[in-house]
Structure 1
Amino acid sequence: MPTKLRTGKRQTRLSEDRMAHLVSGTCLDSPVRWHSRLHYPFKDEKHRRAVWFQHREEIVARWGPVELLQAWADYEATEEQKAAFDHSGTPNPFRTYQQEEADAD
């Protein structure tokens, strides 16, 4: 019985680590055998960009507004959009009062 040959572009599987990295910019565990850096589940930046554009609609549908996604800020946002959605100045509720006092000194 002949086998059907696959044609077209090879699909990249979107793992939980890859999705987490595209959403937040980091992932907790990345046991990818072909990549030497921990917490980076892609071969390189070109691979990350390709996975983002391939799975963009799926990620946005699952994780909400595109403005909150790190990959959107990395690849699509203008400088004005990045500044409007910059969360680095947001207070961290997990910091203790003692840490804030030590930083103030």
Structure 2
Amino acid sequence: MMNATFRGVFVHRYRDQLPDIRAACIVELGLWMKTDPENFLKDEFLKYLGWTLHDRVMRLQCVRALQGLYQEKEFIGRLELFTSRFKERMLSMVLDKDPDVAVEAVNLLLMIQQ
């Protein structure tokens, strides 16, 4: 049922015109990954978080969702490919024009470093 929800709703709404809908999608995806890592902490789902790092409105929600994943030590191995693929973007976010995004990006990088 979760797979059907993901494919039927999330795939179409994570790029919705309304920022509130996009934010809800990213927050929920982060929660799904954290609560059900066997099914959702996979590259096929992580790519959506990576793509959203470039969304000028959703960057903060995305970084916070990623923080929730990187704080779980048992997830680090599963996040290696994601980290290597999107590390340049995460590094560049420390210079983001939005100070909240920049601060949270620094916090995220500190989590990854540990």
Structure with larger Rg: 1
- TM-score, normalised to structure 1, is 0.29
- TM-score, normalised to structure 2, is 0.28
Between structures 1 and 2, the one with greater helix share: 2
